[in-house]
Structure 1
Amino acid sequence: MPDETDARETSVAAARNYVIGGAFKAELARRVAVPSESPREDSGPDHRRYLTQEIAPDLEAMGFKTRILENPAAERLPVLFAERIEDDKLPTVLTYGHGDVLWGMGGDWQEGRDPFKLDEADGRLFGRGTVDNKGQHTINIAALRCVLEAKGRLGFNVKLMIEMGEESGSPGLKEVAETHRDLFSADVLIASDGPRTAVETPTIFLGARGGMGFHLIADERPGAYHSGNWGGLLVNPGIRLAHALATITDAKGRIALREWTPGEIPENVRNALSTISLEPDPSDPVSDPEWGEPGLVGPDQVFGWCNFEILAFTCGRPEAPVNAVPGCARATCQLRYVVGVETARILPALREHLDAHGFQDIKIEPMKRGFFTATRTDPNNEWVRLVTASIQETTGKAPAVLPNLGGSLPNEIFVETLGMPTVWVPHSHRACGQHAPDEHMLLSVAEEAAAIMAGIFHDIGERA
């Protein structure tokens, strides 16, 4: 049996070489080539091909048992479960990834790139899914393999979940987890998604903000009527809806519904955020320090507070306006919220608010697509301390520890349904082009990420 220090160094070096030597690029190229767009209704065969031909064989070669779990909400969005049990007395780590992606947006990528063909340029790997999330879970699986090859064992049990519907709101995933609660039982979730706070800063986040989407509709009448004959006599739904929306925030985006905020940022969260610095990128838009909740800046606004957004607003026919008073106006809206906001009260509180301001005619329609609730693991959790110490040992850097991601993930399934703490170690960066043309992973981040994960998995086996 190799010495523990030697085994750690061997594992970390092998993980770095996995990226430097080209094996990571080769594996990721095959996975990016699978056009697993979950919003596409005929994507089922691609999803199953990704799980059964790309992921399962690699895991089985490492001693995992694999099986496909059918999704009761959407047959085309199956879930892969895999496990490697060394000893029932050892701690068990659950890891997660999603193999689905958003639309490829072919034709919109620079240099004529094909979104489903991996392309390397200037230290970047371009392709749909390179960071969200195929590249990230590919790195984690490889890190497990490096530790196994160096030690001949992990020293802990591993369970793995790869879903194919995250980009569509993870429909059915909660039901899968509830049905197979014993199958997924573990001591902790350690997984990767989302971006670092800065390219050179290893990052940990412990949960995610919730996301609630809905439509606000001013539906005054069927059809439109000539504005010269009827203007001044008919209610304009666009004006009604615009004024209703204006009551939700002030002119600087401060949320008026205080039930939509946590009231205050908890001290342990504020302390954690005080050490965070968000790295600017030349491609970033110019932000407004006066936007949002007064007194909060940067990380506090993004990770500690809530924001309301109007994602789309239509009235009449914008592509071909005519001289007529329209009959209907519609706004698609979203609330991003943190722990401390009661999910079940978000839409009822909005109804009460609109009614109190005289907008009883404005309808609220929840989005059909699933959304996620807010979650957060205690920054002082023992697993957080273990991962933090491991990253510092591997990189010589103190990682940024975020109480939660600014975006949303199905983290409530692990925290609430399965009842475990969650520690996320992201391998992307803020300017990665996620959900947009030119999505890419930095090879420098991939190399460090592989080393970090090999170090974490080694240390769990020796210290947990």
Structure 2
Amino acid sequence: MFTSELSMAGLERARGSAFKTRLAQLIAQKTDAQTENAPQWAASYFDLISQWLAPLSFTLEQHGVPGAPFLIARRIEDPVLPTVLTYSHGDVVPGMEGDWAEGRDPWTLTEAGEHWFGRGIADNKGQFLVNLTAVETVLAERHALGFNLIWLIEMGEEIGSPGLAEICMLQAKALKADVLLASDGPRVAAETPTLFLGARGGMTFRLDLEHRESGRHSGNFGGALRNPAIELAHALTSIVDRNGGLQIDAWTPGHIPDATRAALKTITPAGGAVDEDWGVAGLTPAERIHAWSSAEVLALHAGHPPAPVNAIPPKASAWVQLRYAPGTRSEGLLEALRTHLDEAGFSDVTITPEGPSFRASATPVDHQAVKRLSGVIEAESGQPPAILPSLGGSLPNDIFREVLGLPTIWVPHSYPECSQHAPNEHLPKRLLFEATGLMAAILGSFAGTKPEDWH
């Protein structure tokens, strides 16, 4: 697969016992951002990785706002060299103990066949370790990186990255760089090196419709009394049609640029495990996920589902999540939903934003930094990478793109079937090993370049 000594050295380093030992140490850190012990685990996690970064001549500083700790690690070889900002998050979703197959403990690295299991191995601890090992490889082989590297690590990505934008504004000078190169999310397939250049934005809205304080007998009142569950169902079908197509124009980018269509032409999302006839007509599945907007109903509630009774429910609720593509106006999304429902005759449905939100943003697919790194990957792997204009999910890409003004390039080291955010999170060992070799070559390609080569 690999052609350079640097990539082969990275591959071999990842296959060593130290990589597995470190991965087990990372997974053993119960860094669930939603627990009351999150601050203590954040401190423990920073202590652990600082032991690995300090010997590599990184200067380490912890910053934060209340409840949102950050670690900034900086290795500056020469101010005239290109500067790369990379990013990782050490927090994870809840472990979901007891739900893992074969009684696996989510906080223990477990080997089964060709896979390693553990909470955070895919999102994002394993990807962090790949990149750290690649940095160590370049230093071991060349005794210098040939560029400056700044590493920003947060502990709240899974709860919406609180404080990240503020830290980037407050520490803009310390984080000044020429390009963001980071790793998160999945490849399009395990065997396909992938670049993605941004992320769809995300917002969740709770819709409520309440007509009375209590239920009414479904026989004595049925057919003559408004049923909020039925009405809310119709409200939802005004947002998304029966084929999954989004019906609110203001929630979409309006068009897909030609360069974006060209980049997605050969992409098959999730190995083809999608419904070809679902979504906006006239778009390919890849375009629907990576270049268009979608709205999904996450949950519905009315009555008493565990044991329905013969009563018209007094109220109904639904949770609708919007994932919107770059090019969509981020301002006025709530107002657009309100206007849409009012015009459709559902003015009595109340709307409440819930949970974290992310803004959509992306680097153009024809940016020179994208072309450079794409060429490196093709030379090393023997195949051109899949280039996604944006990840289907949401990341704080907008903070790096808009607050820090950087071109953003993500090189994911996971794959669609990894079960992130679910029991049985895992990665193939081979993917981790090969990703380390590939990342070593990518990092090595910055040596000998100028800062303006990445703008």
- TM > 0.5 fold call: yes
Equivalence for 2:253: 262
Is 1:18 the counterpart of 2:4? The answer is no
CA distance in 2, matches of 1:69, 1:414: 17
Give CA-to-partner distance per residue, 1:88-137, whole Å, 9 cap, x none. 11111000011111111111111111111001122111001011000001
Q: Which amino acid aligns with 2:293?
A: C
Equivalence for 1:5: none
CA distance in 1, matches of 2:32, 2:396: 18
2:33 to 10, 31, 38: 38
Q: Cα distance, 1:324 vs. partner?
A: 2.4
Equivalence for 2:416: 430
Is 1:351 the counterpart of 2:375? The answer is no
1:379 to 358, 361, 365: 365
Q: Secondary structure at the match of 1:70?
A: strand
Q: Cα distance, 1:430 vs. partner?
A: 0.9
Q: Which amino acid aligns with 2:49?
A: I
Equivalence for 2:443: 457
Total equivalences in the alignment: 448
Equivalence for 2:405: 419
1:51 to 46, 61, 64: 46
Task: Out of 263-272 and 226-235, give the one that drifted further.
Answer: 226-235
Equivalence for 1:63: 57
Is 1:294 the counterpart of 2:289? The answer is no
Q: Secondary structure at the match of 2:10?
A: helix
Percent of paired sites with the same residue: 46
CA distance in 1, matches of 2:324, 2:229: 27
CA distance in 2, matches of 1:237, 1:98: 42
Asked whether the 8 Å contact 2:14–2:133 carries over to 1, the reply is no
Q: Which amino acid aligns with 2:281?
A: P
Equivalence for 2:329: 342
Give CA-to-partner distance per residue, 1:279-310, whole Å, 9 cap, x none. 538xx5xx322211101122111111111100
Is 1:189 the counterpart of 2:183? The answer is no
CA distance in 2, matches of 1:111, 1:172: 38
Give CA-to-partner distance per residue, 1:13-62, whole Å, 9 cap, x none. 3211122223221111000001111122332211221112x211111110
Q: Which amino acid aligns with 1:21?
A: G
CA distance in 2, matches of 1:338, 1:389: 26
Give the CA RMSD over aligned residues.
1.6
- 1:217-366 aligned within 5 A: 217-278=208-269, 280=271, 284=273, 287-366=274-353
Equivalence for 1:130: 121
Asked whether the 8 Å contact 1:394–1:455 carries over to 2, the reply is yes
2:428 to 436, 442, 448: 442
Asked whether the 8 Å contact 1:394–1:451 carries over to 2, the reply is no
Equivalence for 2:97: 106
Give CA-to-partner distance per residue, 1:124-159, whole Å, 9 cap, x none. 110010110000011101111111121111111111
CA distance in 1, matches of 2:357, 2:381: 35
CA distance in 1, matches of 2:39, 2:226: 46
Equivalence for 1:87: 78
CA distance in 2, matches of 1:179, 1:221: 49
Q: Which amino acid aligns with 2:359?
A: T
CA distance in 1, matches of 2:70, 2:76: 20
Q: Cα distance, 1:405 vs. partner?
A: 0.8
Equivalence for 2:133: 142
Q: Secondary structure at the match of 2:447?
A: helix
CA distance in 1, matches of 2:236, 2:243: 13
CA distance in 2, matches of 1:279, 1:304: 15
Q: Cα distance, 1:205 vs. partner?
A: 0.6
Q: Secondary structure at the match of 1:184?
A: coil
Equivalence for 2:204: 213
Task: Out of 16-25 and 189-198, give the one that drifted further.
Answer: 16-25
CA distance in 1, matches of 2:119, 2:208: 34
Asked whether the 8 Å contact 1:19–1:443 carries over to 2, the reply is no
Give CA-to-partner distance per residue, 1:299-342, whole Å, 9 cap, x none. 11111111110000001221232222222211011011101211
TM-score, normalised relative to structure 1 = 0.93
CA distance in 1, matches of 2:234, 2:126: 44
Q: Secondary structure at the match of 2:180?
A: strand
Asked whether the 8 Å contact 2:4–2:380 carries over to 1, the reply is no
Q: Which runs of 5+ in 2 are unaligned?
A: 451-455
Q: Which amino acid aligns with 1:130?
A: I
Asked whether the 8 Å contact 2:31–2:42 carries over to 1, the reply is yes
Asked whether the 8 Å contact 1:199–1:279 carries over to 2, the reply is no
Equivalence for 2:194: 203
Q: Cα distance, 1:228 vs. partner?
A: 4.1
Q: Cα distance, 1:185 vs. partner?
A: 1.4
Give CA-to-partner distance per residue, 1:74-96, whole Å, 9 cap, x none. x1x31111101111111110000
Asked whether the 8 Å contact 2:208–2:315 carries over to 1, the reply is yes
CA distance in 1, matches of 2:49, 2:175: 18
